[in-house]
Amino acid sequence: MEEEKDVKKIVIHYEDGTEKVIDKGFFCNMKEEDGSAALEFTMCHVSGREIELIVEGCLQLGFKLGMFDNKKEEE
């Protein structure tokens, strides 16, 4: 088994040629495999309580986008 490497930074390259460097955070890469999506998470200087904050933030985003609205399922 290959040893996991520590991520130093994540760099976002925009279409206009500008860049943004993420020194602390995470990236989610989606890959389509056999008709389903496989998610690969890359963490950069994130641990413990910070991971909980990321998950809570993702859930808040889902609620804000209406993804957990049970009314759709009832119809």
DSSP state of 51: H
Distance (Å, whole) CA 26 – CA 47: 11
User: Residue 71's pLDDT is what?
Assistant: 59
Distance (Å, whole) CA 64 – CA 56: 12
Distance (Å, whole) CA 52 – CA 58: 10
User: Residue 37's pLDDT is what?
Assistant: 92
Rounded to a whole number of angstroms, the distance between the first and last alpha carbons of the chain is 48
Q: Where are the domains of the chain?
A: 10-74
What's the predicted TM-score (pTM) here?
0.68
User: Residue 63's pLDDT is what?
Assistant: 94
Per-residue pLDDT in tens (0 to 9) along the chain, 75 residues: 567 789 999 999 999 999 999 999 999 999 998 889 999 999 999 998 999 999 999 999 999 999 988 755 555
Distance (Å, whole) CA 9 – CA 75: 45
